[in-house]
Amino acid sequence: MKKYFYLFFVALFATMSFALTSCSDDDDEPNDPNNGKMELTIDGKKHVFTNTMADVNGNDYSCLVYNNDNELNFSIYGWDEVVKGSALTDENFTLTWSTDEAIIGMPTSNTSVKVTEKNSKNVTISFSNATFEDMRGFESFIVNGTITLPIN
């Protein structure tokens, strides 16, 4: 009788190992505005944003991403010239970080913020220890990660 139970459980486990597997195509992308989840690390703390409002107005792009606690507003000027590989600098990009009080920051390095993808639906921006200083030079914040933002 033990022998039959043993064979039954071996067969059961072998069958279940095939029945309970999943494909990687079932996983959601972590920074996809279409699934409502976008993440960035700001000053060493991961922030997840779940809401967006984007707009292209002439040659300017803006996108507000926010959650219950804080928000980021991305502004890209000269939108038509921005392509994959473009550096976003203090001349064409600002990032407003709002928690208690808004800081309108401009990147301090020409290599720390780049467009890694731009198509008709989304723009993807990567941040590599991107330091943003406010116009007065009193406050700053550091951003790391990659975020995909909707175009409309």
- pLDDT band for 145, please (50, 70, 90 cuts): very high
What tens digit of pLDDT does each residue of 95-137 get? 998 876 788 888 887 779 999 999 999 999 999 999 998 877 7
**CA-to-CA separations, 16 to 7, 75, 103, in angstroms, rounded:** 14, 51, 54
What tens digit of pLDDT does each residue of 11-51 get? 655 665 555 555 544 444 455 555 557 899 999 999 999 89
Closest among 104, 147, 149 to 127, alpha carbons compared: 147
What tens digit of pLDDT does each residue of 107-116 get? 887 779 999 9
